[in-house]
Amino acid sequence: MQKERNRERASANEMKEFQIKVYQKNGEAEFIQCTIKNISEAGLAGFLEGKIDLKEGDTVSGVIEGEDFGIKIRYAGTVSWIKTNSESALFGVNFSSEILLPDILIARLMAVA
């Protein structure tokens, strides 16, 4: 049990340098910034403390950014699921077209697996 908890914390720490930024929702200007929970070439899961103004089926676009690494990946997709509670929100996005993940991001993902 303790080993599992440490692994979860490492996951959050390894990915904290990468942000998901939503600049457009359903064709309208929007700004949401959150952390990556999980990512692949086909989609991502994001985590945000607090409330989020998204619902399943919303189309979103923006960037996945790692400022310390000079990474900025543009994406567009559809919100596929949302899980919320009073303190935070998790959501998934399926990309409209696959993205190419840079080596540093793949290495971080492997480190938390």
* Domain count across the chain: 1
Can you tell me whether residue 52 is helix, strand or coil?
A: coil
The domain that holds 46 is classified in CATH as 2.40.10.220
Q: What is the pTM of this model?
A: 0.81
With a cut of 50, say whether residue 32 has pLDDT above it: yes
93 has a pLDDT exceeding 70? yes
What is the C-alpha separation between 29 and 22, in angstroms, rounded?
A: 9
Q: When comparing pLDDT for 102 and 78, which is higher?
A: 78
Residue 78: give the domain boundaries: 2-112
pLDDT band at 9 (very low <50, low <70, confident <90, very high): very low
